[in-house]
Amino acid sequence: MRSFKILILFTLLCFTGSGFAGNQFRWVVGEKLVYKVRWAFVRLGTVEMYLSDTVRVNGHLLYKVDLKMDSNPVLIFVNLHNRYQCLVDSLFRPVKYVVKEKHGNEINRMIYRFDYKKNKVTWQIFDPKDSTKIIKQKIFDLKDYMYDGISLTYFARAHAKEGASFRVYSYFYDRRGPVDIHFLGDPEVVYFKPMKKDFKTYVVEGVFHLKGIAGVTGEYKGWFTYDDRRIPLGAKMKVFVGNVKVELERWEKWNP
């Protein structure tokens, strides 16, 4: 059964439009959030998410979000320099997802295109030596809405509400798997070190039932600001090296 029915069941978790009544989620073009990723006391790298622009495709307003992942250059055991871009619609679904992952001196490029009228996904892999040449293409049925790391983050931000629980599906290459999301019943006050102040937050816990970007898998926990922006302040999760903490350290177009 399509997860669309789940969304209906929750009435978009009491949302109207792109947010819920009284505290509507607010997109802000130019929003840039930069996070440090720590493994114990070691800084593994930096993650940057940037809502760079809006575009219209077939009359539909889409939000263009860029994601950068860069490992700490002083570390010799990890070398990660990847770029991702997603066009996200008003229901927080991916419409086009572009992957550029660096392996040695080559950049592997993939594109996913989602056709929600036909319930199909087209997945293409391009030749690292010729970015115009498709070396593999696969079209598969869109049985459930599927979210990449970018659209999943915005989906969670927009649907943050005390006590809300649901399951969505994510994908990595041509594999898919469920992601459980549960917002705790009570908000939590956390200390945000970069601003030296306390923030009231929505708390989310859940499980990734597949292995995704940078080996993300298993249980996770995160904190979103308790307002119409739902800025992710931080998270705990498991990646390829073990358990890590992701902490917001710099931002643009956010003035709490």
Q: pLDDT for 219-228, tens place per residue? A: 999 999 999 9
Cβ–Cβ contacts within 10 Å for residue 201, how many?
24
Q: Please tell me whether residue 12 adopts helix, strand or coil conformation.
A: helix
Q: Which residue type, as a one-letter code, is found at position 169?
A: Y
Predicted structure pTM score? 0.87
Host H or E run for residue 152? helix 149-158
CA distances from 64 to 27, 28, 106, 172 (A): 11, 11, 25, 20
What average pLDDT does the segment 1-29 reach?
Answer: 47
The region of weakest confidence among 116-120, 154-158, 211-215, 220-224 is 211-215
Tens digit of each residue's pLDDT (9 = 90 or more) over 172-185:
888 889 999 999 99
CA distances from 86 to 49, 144, 153, 171, 249 (A): 11, 18, 12, 14, 23
Q: Which residue type, as a one-letter code, is found at position 222?
A: G
Which residues lie closer than 8 Å to 180 by C-beta, 6 or more apart? 165, 167, 206, 207, 209
Give just the sign of the alpha carbon dihedral 222, 7, 173, 67.
negative
Q: Please tell me whether residue 68 adopts helix, strand or coil conformation.
A: strand
Per-residue pLDDT, 80: 86
Q: Residue 7's pLDDT band (boundaries 50, 70, 90)?
A: very low
> How far is it, in rounded angstroms, from Cα 100 to Cα 252?
24
Per-residue pLDDT, 6: 33
Residues in the chain: 256
Q: What is the DSSP letter of 241?
A: T
Q: Residue 5's pLDDT band (boundaries 50, 70, 90)?
A: very low
What average pLDDT does the segment 24-43 reach?
Answer: 94
The region of weakest confidence among 46-55, 204-213, 226-235 is 204-213
Backbone dihedral region for residue 179 (phi beyond 0: left; psi -120 to 50: alpha; all else: beta): beta
Report all structural domains of the chain as residue ranges with CATH numbers, in order of start. Answer: 3-252 (2.40.360)
Chain centroid, CA 215 distance in Å:
14
Q: What is the DSSP letter of 90?
A: T
